[in-house]
Amino acid sequence: MAMAETTQKRMLWPSRWSLGAALIALIVVAPIVAVFGIAFFPKENIWPHLISTTLPRYLMTTAKLMFGVGLLAAMAGTGAAWLVARYDFPGRRWLEWLLLLPLAIPAYVGAYALVDFLEYAGPVQTWMRALFGWSSARDYWFPEIRSLGAAILVLAAAMYPYVYLLARAAFREQSAAAEEVARSLGAGPFARFWRVGLPLARPAIAAGVAIVMMESVNDFGTVDYFAVQTLTTGIFSVWLEGNNAGGAAQIAAVVLVLVVLLVTLEKVSRRRMKFFNLSTRHRPVERRPMTGWAGWVATLACAIPLVAGFVFPAGVILSHALENAEHWAKPGLWRAGLNTLVVCGAAAGITVAAGVFLVYGVRLSGQRLPRLLLPVTTIGYAAPGAVLGVGILIPLAWLDNRVADAIWETTGWDPGLVLTGTAFALVLAYSVRFFAIAQGAADAAMGRVSPNLPLAARSLGRTQGQVLGAVYYPLMRASIASALLLVFVDCVKELPATLLLRPFNYETLATRVHEQASLENLGDASPAAMLVILFGLLAVALLARANR
């Protein structure tokens, strides 16, 4: 009887694993809650002023950017995915993986390369003036480079792989039966794509487009360089230039509502669209050979987004890096590189460890409420970095000042700003922003471990912590390593949160690229940009290996 009561108390009283999981979830969600709290209770309410002046313009420009980038990325990603999944043409085996390479290059690097190549002093206009004898810009017309249209092109070229990756997997999983029935009814290649392949792959394509549109809202480097005023640039303007944190939080709240609305619409739109393979013999669609001019047209169609998203920006940056080799020896570059390794490495380690702890704690609890924490903690990935900057810096600055004042009054020693005066806030922002990657990898890896193994270890007297280290970790090691690399690379490329939360005079590779390029000094920015690209290539190689 006493033993039964003890067991019941243990079931009712949460374990340290469950409490730790709840604390981690609270830390991840807290910045989002803080944004709404600051927005609803600002020190100086400029909401009426925003609505009557800049907010409608920010909203309209952001909407145009989102839908323009989403449409172009959907066209490029879906078209390339259909070709490589359904046909054999020259270079298909190489292009199937090379089409992922734009993920290695941040969109803002592509923006710097495009402006450098096409601006008045760039090689294209210089060659035109030399060829036709023009002496100034008044002698000829040339499209405006720093514009909304250029920003849409750059962002779409950098982000179409999100759509391509999901669409290719969806096209691969489709059954050959539907394709054969459509062909027997006289449907041509385009009709089979439009009436069979595309509707079946729509959920995957919609998910990819939603990611692209959310990343477009998050972007700051590209739109700032092209002088395009979006909600994200509005956060920076109102906070840093207008010195109004409450107004920045109000714009950040609008961004969050927009992102949540986008995700909700995407899920609702495909809620009733469910497709099942009713055949007991599932046969994948065999690729049809495409020869002659049609094959080379397919090769060109797949090569265009690859060139626009990777070959062109990487080529421009590499040429500057080679022409300005002396910049590689500058101490500022290697100091920024060391800061990047330390901060991003710490963030990756903490994020993955917290993700494993959260998933393990939720599994041990066996209760419904802790399981509801898992999807909630992924909200940070949907929140733009500028929004997280607002939700983290303002509460941390308040807490930092209160703690420093308390220590000063008690001991007479001034510790300074420990939380916001160091890289702590930066590590916290990275962890919240990319926690979904670590949590998803840990959840998937633990789900593949047979429940009998931890039960057997427990029956042999192992504690829950020993089970995690001796049973789960060896079987999850590859997934943990992949999550570490992916989180690390995403931290390296993150720009908006880094600009807002870095300590004074603290540079990372991303901020160095942004600052030097903003000063029109691409030669000095190119070494740091090349290092960012190399880090990105590591993640793309891992992604290609995992999706073979």
Parse the chain into domains and list their residue ranges.
Answer: 42-104+148-271+281-307, 324-548
Whole-number Å distance between alpha carbons of 433 and 424 = 14
Same fold, 42-104+148-271+281-307 and 324-548: yes
Report the candidate in 210, 58, 226, 205 with the shortest Cα–Cα distance to residue 154. Answer: 226
Question: What's the one-letter identity of residue 283?
Answer: R
Q: Whole-angstrom Cα distance, residue 38 to residue 42?
A: 5
Q: What does the block give as tokens for 419?
A: 């939380």
Which uninterrupted H or E stretch holds 288?
strand 288-289
DSSP 377: T
Nearest one of 441, 432, 426 to 377, comparing CA atoms? 432
C-alpha span between 129 and 441 (Å, rounded): 54
Would you say domain 324-548 falls under CATH 3.40.50.300?
no
At residue 287, the pLDDT reads 80
What pLDDT is stored for residue 1 in this prediction? 41
- Read off the tokens for 446: 């633990």
Q: Report which of 82, 393, 12 is spatially closest to residue 236, judged by C-alpha positions.
A: 393
Other Cβ atoms less than 10 A from the Cβ of 114: the count is 25
Euclidean distance between the first and the last CA atom of the chain, given in angstroms as a whole number: 56
Partners of 289 in beta bridges: 88
Residue 477: what residue type?
R
d(CA 248, CA 374): 29
Q: Report whether 448 contacts 475 (CB < 8 A).
A: yes
C-alpha span between 110 and 493 (Å, rounded)? 13
pLDDT at 248: 87
So what's the pLDDT on residue 411?
A: 86
CA–CA separation, 422 vs 430, rounded Å?
14
Report which of 303, 255, 326 is spatially closest to residue 80, judged by C-alpha positions. 303
**Which residue ranges of the chain lie beneath pLDDT 50?**
1-13, 276, 278, 280
Residues for the chain: how many in total?
548
Q: Taking the CA of residue 18 as centre, how many other CA atoms within 13 Å lie in the half-sphere pointing to its CB?
A: 16
Query: What are 204's strand-pairing partners?
Result: none
Predicted local distance difference test score (pLDDT) of residue 277? 52
Separation of alpha carbons 171 and 77, rounded Å: 12
CATH architecture, domain defined by 42-104+148-271+281-307: Orthogonal Bundle (1.10)
Cα–Cα dist 491/495, whole Å: 9
pLDDT in tens, 436-461: 888 888 888 888 888 888 888 888 88
What 3-state class would DSSP assign to 186?
coil
Predicted local confidence at residue 9, as pLDDT: 44
| Residue among 526, 547, 514, 473 at smallest CA distance from 99 | 547
Q: What three-state secondary structure class fits 228?
A: coil
Strand locations in 254-384 (E): 288-289
Question: What are the backbone angles phi and psi of residue 348, rounded to the nearest 5°?
Answer: -65, -45
The alpha-helical segments, DSSP class H, found in 53-175 are 55-86, 92-98, 107-118, 123-132, 148-173
In Å, what is the CA distance from 45 to each residue of 235, 257, 406?
15, 19, 30
Q: How far is CA 455 from CA 82, 452, 458, 471, in A?
A: 45, 5, 5, 10
Cβ atoms < 10 Å from Cβ of 136: 8
Nearest CA-CA partner of 250 in 37, 398, 65, 495: 37
**pLDDT number for residue 7:** 44
Q: Which residue has the tokens 């792959």?
A: 201
